[in-house]
Structure 1
Amino acid sequence: MNSEQLNLMHSGKGFIAALDQSGGSTPKALLQYGIQENQYSNDEEMYTLVHEMRTRIIKSPAFDRQYILGAILFENTMDRKIDGQWTADFLWEKKHIIPFLKVDKGLAELADGVQLMKPISGLDELLDRAVERSIFGTKMRSVIKEANPKGIVEVVKQQFEIGKQIFNKGLIPIIEPEVDIYSADKEKSEQILKEEIQKQLHLLDKDVKVMLKLSIPTVSNFYQDLISDPHVVRVVALSGGYSREEANLKLSQNHGLIASFSRALSEGLSADQSDEDFNNELQETIKGIYQASIT
């Protein structure tokens, strides 16, 4: 584990850029970027186009360590290069931005008000490759739709079990039990979720470190005790379907919580923009998310 990256992630100013759209969400990401589905005919062409989009974002002068602490990559992106370097190496060596990797394989069907992660086949091999590719940490997502204690217990248990496996490989796991922002009982779900996370944190060995990626809470500063927990490197927030403006506003009301936005980060960017317009748009977006993250 890179101690410089660990210290930077724990105490540095900035936010995490989520560039980890996978097979299911890549067409939506490309469509938002202005690339229609009829512009590619297979997965390889699709992934090449999305890598070009991500490369354009990463190489932009706006994508700068002054504002951005880390970036979450999709496996296909980790295994591709930017200017002859593996993407993670380019991020750290050229930009001093910490690379993460999405490792989950998507969501299982809804049961007990939640969607657990599907089994992650080949996880050990993927983690070994991540270490070889200079990845610092990982990210994996579950979803909570209802304030069902049984389901939420299972979500948190699954996340921490896999998280410990990841930590034992020398990587920092981002544990992401997302609460659906449209849930009718979102606040109650958050209360149950925090209690279960605290139980699991209490059970960790003294040296184990994790990160948490959570929906912006209904009650401002609700996750302060998680932010200060000695096991927790950082607590980051997903935009969860909020517009960028709304997500920034809600985030700014939560001291110590920083952004890890995906769709809200790339909102307003398009393939047909000139480099000047693209960079200016991205700069304004990044500055806004940064300001919300340091409030």
Structure 2
Amino acid sequence: MVDVAPSVTSKVTVKRRGQIVLIGINRPNIQNRIDPETYLGLAKAYYQYEHDSSLRAAVLFGHGDNFSRGIDVDAFQALATSEQPLLTDAEIIDPLPKAKGLSKPLVVVVHGDTWNMGHELHLVADIRIAAADTRFGQDENTHGRFPGGGATVRFVREAGWANAMRFMLTGDHWSAEEAFRMGVVQKIAPTAEQALEAGIEMATKIAACGPLGIKATLASAHQAVDLSEAEALSKLETQYRALYKSEDFKEGRKAEAEGRPPIYQGR
């Protein structure tokens, strides 16, 4: 049994276990949707991990029945339609970085609903483990938005153009088995508990390796991919904010509230 009991107050939990750290998304009452406070909490947890020389690997997971259903749209809407930056604290590392933010390994463990920003948090990781019940989704286009957290870059790179577009352009969801087929997940475990155990085991193996060699391996690999992606990633925030101001976005929110199919006009 993995002891990761969450705090009743913190939206992000941080628990050290030897040379690894467990970082948990802790909003199970709202399917672990990410609001600005949760996003900032993750950014601070990543910074603490990066700058603690005694920590050698991190595991990101979700408390409750789901990893995360993605962005808390209502909580982010005011921020997205303003010109205010989300992250202003100096002691942060963006969990959806415009370039790779961590120099040390990140293992992600997902289960249940893993949608939109939840899936994009998963794509940033170096190694990914899913419970058999995981339901992935990148369905922003059905709501008048688009995948603005990096899926348009990372999902395409990891799964291949047509595999990624097949799900992003239709909004269809997919299974852990399908994610494994596309190479986006490296291991499937029968249950969420066993998936987390597998993630901790993987992180423990990484932590036992030479830390300088691990960092050099990651740095070398990132040199091969980051420069070619940097321009596309740098434009995501502007593109995302523009869609939040569109009539189609407003129609998507209205249709969702009224329980009807949206009628988009392309403006």
TM over 0.5: no
Bigger strand share: 1
> Taking structure 2 as the reference length, what is the TM-score of the superposition?
0.35
> Taking structure 1 as the reference length, what is the TM-score of the superposition?
0.32
